[in-house]
Chains A and B, each alone.
Chain A
């Protein structure tokens, strides 16, 4: 394997992006998943479909809309300029935003399943034992849904590492700023640097396999203990 400095930069940036995205996603997905698992509202189906959209949309479509929204005339771009942050397109935080949207279903769905599998009873038990709703959420719902949180975190991280289309559309493939492993491989192949592409592609292959292996081992262990 002959990885150069740029390759290592791309790997570091990818890990940074995936970590930040995973943390933000868990914070965002938890209330969304809780609402989806408990609501009887007519808005449930539309919101669930909206959250699942990134699963079926081509990443280029998602990337295109995000690019427009983040641009100087887009709603998000207008807001970020007003707030004094400039525009997010072709920046790290633009990539974070894109990754959060793109990986949202991978964080929300395991959490919805975990909350639904738990049922209403543990929360009812907790409130009859004098716990307020918030107290009960953190001391009963979160520990009981732990497998769901682990699953959500692993899937969000892996899926963010593996994204390509959205990154290319809103990131612009700028070295050290927005160039992640997947776009770096693309660059190597474009430049006919096959041996470098092999090195990075191999890293991705091993990483993805290990994550999936870990997930399957984890879910098996959960089943055995349950």
Chain B
């Protein structure tokens, strides 16, 4: 059970051409710079781009399968594809209130069974108090929550989210993000999530698809893709590793929590964690340095033994990106090329990663 997207579409700037298999669970984030074809890809999946050719398969349902020889093939119109689509900007139907917007999709979905679906969506997105309001009486964050709930009540097989946070300011993003995480954790609907924000990748992605100029550059489990050779260079200051770990120990005196992962452990700020909790950590490459021996007499709390796995030149000639393998986990470090030379670092060499800062992403 998975998603198969094989699509070609001509555009004036470049052609979008992708062929990718994605898992049919969790969030697959499609990441890339603005204008790289991410939104076009999403629109093709929904059938909103009439000129797109190829194949769209969701589980066992084939939504589109064009005959390359010009034969009839399969092409379901958008309203027969079981998608939920959340557009980038507020897209509530202005002539209906919130309840009317939710009902619009509910009345037309294939099995308009139940008020339970509606109630679930209203509860899941916390919009019960907004039902009688019109679009212009809602904040940007509330509008997006309603738009997500509206997509859910059609009971989609696939949820498509096109930069749902891009039109919101920082505070509103923080307001909506937890609802998206809840969605991922509570529902069994695969999601394609388009964004150009790395923090959303770090927080939400299970699978990461990197796009550039209409092509897919990398795809796979997010922690693997983030530390693959070319991506750190492309991400610049945002380059970093994602680790999943379990809280092992709480140091109540210093408000720190120790998170263990396959290959080591890191101390992080205790933001109300409890022992045994699974957490996701983000370690930026610029916050990691390398020593040959475990450093003492330093304020830095986190030292992890590792092996140098790869040394890649960065965009600026003075900088180098190091891939450090700590057991089964990979960290990235951005260090100067001179530093690498002076320490005599080479692939396969044991070293210590010094981690100055760790961010808890969930």
Is the Cβ of B78 less than 8 Å from the Cβ of A140?
no
Q: Are B105 and A121 in contact (CB under 8 A)?
A: no
What distance in Å separates the Cβ of A90 from its nearest Cβ neighbour in chain B?
Answer: 45
Find B79's partner among A121, A127, A143, A144 (CB 8 Å cutoff).
A127
Contacts of B154 in A (CB 8 A): 129-130
| B84 in contact (CB, < 8 A) | yes
A144 vs B95: C-alpha distance when bound (angstroms): 6
Interface presence of B244 (CB below 8 A): no
A139 to B108: give the CA distance in the assembly, Å: 12
A residues less than 8 Å from B166 (CB atoms)? none
Interface-forming stretch among B20-28, B85-93, B116-124? B85-93
Is there contact, CB below 8 Å, between B78 and A128? Answer: yes
Shortest CB distance A153–B (Å): 18
Number of A-B contacts (CB under 8 A): 59
Asked whether B104 lies within 8 Å of A131 as measured between CB atoms, the reply is yes
- Centre residue among B77, B94, B110, B154 by max chain A CB count within 10 A: B94
Q: Is B48 an interface residue (CB 8 A)?
A: yes
Q: In the complex the two chains form, what is the Cα distance from A144 to B85 in whole Å?
A: 21
Minimum CB–CB distance for A224 against chain B, Å: 12
Smallest CB gap from A130: residue in B: B108
Q: Give the interface size class of chain A.
A: 10 to 19
Contact of B46 among A121, A128, A143 (CB under 8 A): A128
Nearest-Cβ distance from residue A95 to partner chain B, whole angstroms: 36
Q: Is residue B17 within 8 Å, beta carbon to beta carbon, of the partner chain? A: no
Interface pair B93/A125, CB less than 8 Å apart:
yes
A132 & B87 in contact (Cβ 8 Å cutoff): no
CB proximity of A150 to chain B, nearest CB, Å: 14
Shortest beta-carbon distance from A59 to chain B in Å: 38
Give the residue name and chain of the A residue nearest to B43 (CB): A124
Contacts of B109 in A (CB 8 A): 130
CA distance in complex: A133, B108 (Å):
13
**Shortest distance from the beta carbon of B270 to any chain A beta carbon, whole Å:** 43
Report whether A122 and B78 are in contact in the complex, using a CB–CB cutoff of 8 Å: no
In whole angstroms, what is the CA distance A120 to B95 when docked?
15
Residues of chain B in range 63-89 having any CB-CB distance to chain A below 8 Å: 77-80, 83-85, 87
- Find chain B residues with CB under 8 A from A122 CB: 91, 93-94
Whether the pair A143, B95 counts as a contact (CB closer than 8 A) is yes
Interface residues of B, count at CB 8 A: 22
B93:A126 contact, CB within 8 angstroms: yes
**Is chain A's interface secondary structure helix, strand, loop, or mixed overall?**
helix
On whether the beta carbons of A125 and B91 are closer than 8 Å, the reply is yes
Tell me if A193 is interfacial: C-beta within 8 Å of chain B: no
Q: Does chain B have a CB within 8 A of A135? A: yes
Smallest distance from the beta carbon of A127 to chain B beta carbons, Å?
Answer: 4
From B160, which residue of chain A is reached at the shortest CB distance? A128
Nearest CB in chain B to that of A125: its residue: B91
Residue of A nearest to B83 (CB): A128
Q: In the complex, what residues of A have CB within 8 A of residue B233's CB? A: none
Task: Tell me the minimal C-beta distance from B99 to chain A in angstroms.
Answer: 14
Which residue from chain B places its CB closest to the CB of A139 in the assembled complex? B104
Is B151 positioned at the interface, with any CB of A under 8 Å from its CB? yes
Q: How far is the CA of A164 from the CA of B151 in the complex (A)?
A: 54
- B191 CB → nearest A CB, Å: 14
Whether a CB of chain A sits under 8 angstroms from the CB of B325 is no
A127 adjacent to B91 (CB under 8 Å): no
In the bound complex, residues from chain A placing their C-beta under 8 Å from that of B83 are 128
Asked if B105 contacts A129 (CB within 8 A), the reply is yes
A130 engages B93 (CB within 8 Å):
no
What's the Cα separation between A55 and B108 when bound, in Å? 43
Which residues of A have CB within 8 Å of B303? none
Name the distance in Å between A41's Cβ and chain B's nearest Cβ: 14
Q: List 28 A-B contacts (CB under 8 A).
A: A121-B87, A122-B93, A124-B48, A124-B78, A124-B85, A125-B85, A125-B91, A126-B93, A127-B48, A127-B78, A128-B46, A128-B48, A128-B83, A128-B85, A128-B151, A129-B150, A129-B154, A130-B79, A130-B105, A130-B108, A130-B154, A131-B104, A131-B108, A132-B77, A135-B79, A140-B93, A144-B93, A144-B95
Nearest 8 interchain pairs by C-beta: A129-B105, A130-B108, A128-B85, A127-B78, A143-B95, A127-B79, A130-B79, A125-B91
